Amino acid sequence: MSLHLQLQFMPMRATPLTGRDPLDEVLAAIGHGRPAWQRDALCREYPLEVFFPRPGKPSTAARVICARCAVLEECRSWAIGDPSLGCGIFGGMSASERAAARLRQAA
């Protein structure tokens, strides 16, 4: 079985109310700044909703984007190291996959 996804390039736009990048908004809301490597992250070129799918919706598109990203390993390491990132796809992993990775690292 072959999986083909059509990913649409949509530049991130600043939100009308704050003028900030939506990912900055999310990271600020959970008390995080943006690491320097994130300026090279491919996810910045796609809508934030791709990486925070609604419950029951697939995260396949986010994972495909992450797999093509030049900073995948940095992102994954950062996300695994931060248990407060309780939702969303970071480094190609869901919150539960990151939690399992933390447990494996601790063992």
pLDDT tens track for 26-50: 766 766 667 888 889 999 999 999 9
* Average per-residue pLDDT for the chain: 81
User: Among all chains, which residue has been given the structure tokens 């494996």?
Assistant: 104
pLDDT at 70: 96
The reply to whether the predicted model has a pTM over 0.85 is no
CA quadruple 59, 94, 13, 40: dihedral, nearest 10: -110
Residue 5 pLDDT > 50: no
Alpha helices in the chain (DSSP H): 22-29, 60-67, 72-80, 95-106
